[in-house]
A and B are shown apart, each in its own frame.
Chain A
């Protein structure tokens, strides 16, 4: 089992009147190589769940095993290494660093891995080629369209060849055509063996996933497998 959440809670202002249960007793298992769509209304806890799964946030209660390791016992440094090597993040707002150019942005996770400059450049260029951006590597993010920026973000996420890809509304800020393109990349990565966790509130996009998990008020209310045509 790659990912295993067991009775996980994320509670803000616990015990106060303003208490919010963003995750309210979630248990979930995901196997290696799955393509999982997480859907639900705004405020249902999708991002919160992804942050916990991606080791960006710590659950208030409950257990989380990643590849068999109890995440609660890891130090901040070890969590950093997991984010660096095991997970590739794609965010709705792209989250590129504005004063670095495209190539430098894609190289960044490789820098934190301590890979030498030549290998780093080669790996970054390879990732940029996969998303079709090898010609614009010296541009700043602000000089590119939203679709192009999201492709840079995807290149950054896959430059380290992580086993897990987590995408939080990656198509949310894009038109339907570029959105389909991005979705195509994720499907391609999944075919090559990556585990993909895709958060969306678009039922059309959710319908293209092999497995669909629905959240409501911090609880999993539906978890089903569906037929897809792209596999």
Chain B
């Protein structure tokens, strides 16, 4: 007897007893659908939090240095970091805040401050047209690299700007829009605390949807703090490591460097914070969650599988006489085993297909209702779920099939 014959026979037998077949499949359907829904939803959530972290800039190391003699530690930091090479460090910048009023023509940051009170319409909804005041930062020529900004037009701050105390600045996309509407800001002059600053570049927009976004910024060469806020010391820096692995090494090297710089804490204090750490924590949490929920789903799948085994056993008992007849007219043991295995695999395969459809629907629904995301189950999860169900069918089909084939024909024939 060939496989095609056996498959035909199995198909007939499944159709011949629709109620029993449906009950068998139900376990697998529910199992597969829930595994797919849970795993896909978690994957989608993980992907989103990864994307959010990516937008903020991954592999950022925050360094704080405070020297008791009031000196600025950045130049030493800058030289040290760039000496580590681009395989470890991609950039380093101060992150000092600057407070100043910025004016261009009739627009001023002072007026924008007042807008904050008009943020909300009378009905409580947000008024998205309102311009909010920009955040002002001191940065190095590597500010964009460190904070994941790309130059959209013009240029980044340069080393020469810093050395020569050039009165220039780079705008975030939303700040550019707030001050210049849709006109080209490059070459225009902003009045910052009454001093003229030329716009040399604009960053590409990262977060178009939010008014308080990271795009509403103006970055000045850190050296001009001498003009805008005399006497400020640069204490906080961001180092951008090449990748997650490098960030671990860079953190430890920086710690060593700071120990030397502060003379082992005697002439100052230094602190390195690897934000990768909390990324890792988030990842670990996500992994834990997928393990727990995935475990629950796997258990439901297992219960489904045991249900199949149970039904297959009942089937064999129910059909002992049929097996006896088949053996009496010449079926080999192998033919009986093949028939029952194929029957089990087919049941689970059909159940798996239905489960896949329900799992896809479940993922869509869970995605939109629970986490407000547009999630599709990935191909690997879908195919994996299907293979899993067929494998389960075969695994749980083996025992009853083997049991059925071991019967002596005469014993099987005697069964009622």
Contact = CB atoms under 8 A, between A and B. Distances in A.
Interface string A60-104: 000000000000000011001101110001010001111110000
Sorting the interface of chain A by its residue count into under 10, 10 to 19, 20 to 34 or 35 or more gives 20 to 34
| Nearest 3 interchain pairs by C-beta | A84-B330, A99-B16, A57-B410
A108 B17 contact: no
A178 interface: no
Interface stretch (B70-78, B150-158, B331-339): B331-339
B1 A112 contact: yes
Interface in B306-349: 321-322, 324-335
Nearest to A52: B410
A209 to B, nearest CB: 23
A122 to B, nearest CB: 17
Contacts of A113: 330
A96 B413 CA distance: 11
B2 A114 contact: yes
A83 B1 contact: no
A99 B326 contact: no
Contacts of B409: 56-57, 83
A56 B335 CA distance: 17
Contacts of A89: 328-329
A51 to B, nearest CB: 5
B403 interface: no
B10 to A, nearest CB: 12
B13 interface: yes
A97 B322 CA distance: 6
B164 interface: no
A100 B319 CA distance: 13
B125 interface: no
Contacts of A98: 322
A113 B408 CA distance: 20
Given A56-B413, A112-B335, A80 B330 contact: yes
Contacts, number: 68
Contacts of A112: 1, 326, 329-332, 335
A67 to B, nearest CB: 16
Q: Which has the most chain B C-beta neighbours within 10 Å: A51, A80, A95, A96?
A: A80
B380 interface: no
Contacts of A109: 329-330
A80 B332 contact: yes
Interface in A88-140: 89, 91, 95-100, 108-109, 111-114
A176 B408 CA distance: 33
Q: Which has the most chain A C-beta neighbours within 10 Å: B16, B328, B333, B335?
A: B328
A111 B1 contact: yes
A100 B31 CA distance: 32
A58 B411 CA distance: 11
B47 interface: no
A99 B410 contact: no
B12 interface: yes
Contacts of B334: 77
A84 B413 CA distance: 16
28 contacts: A54-B328, A56-B409, A57-B408, A58-B408, A77-B332, A77-B333, A80-B330, A80-B332, A80-B333, A83-B327, A83-B329, A83-B409, A89-B328, A95-B324, A95-B325, A95-B328, A95-B413, A96-B325, A97-B326, A98-B322, A99-B17, A100-B12, A108-B329, A109-B329, A112-B330, A114-B1, A114-B2, A156-B329
Nearest to A55: B409
A81 to B, nearest CB: 7
Nearest to B13: A99
A58 B409 CA distance: 10
A108 B5 CA distance: 11
Given A97-B326, A112-B330, 20 more contacts: A54-B328, A56-B410, A57-B410, A77-B333, A80-B327, A80-B331, A81-B330, A81-B332, A83-B327, A83-B328, A83-B330, A83-B409, A84-B329, A89-B328, A91-B413, A95-B321, A95-B324, A96-B325, A99-B17, A112-B326
A80 to B, nearest CB: 4
B335 to A, nearest CB: 6
B325 A97 contact: yes
Nearest to A54: B328
Contacts of A85: 330
B231 to A, nearest CB: 95
Q: Which has the most chain B C-beta neighbours within 10 Å: A97, A113, A114?
A: A97
Q: Which has the most chain A C-beta neighbours within 10 Å: B5, B322, B332?
A: B332
B334 to A, nearest CB: 8
Nearest to B336: A80
A170 B295 CA distance: 58
A111 B325 contact: no
Interface in A14-43: none
A56 B328 contact: yes
B322 to A, nearest CB: 5
A45 to B, nearest CB: 13
A114 B327 CA distance: 15
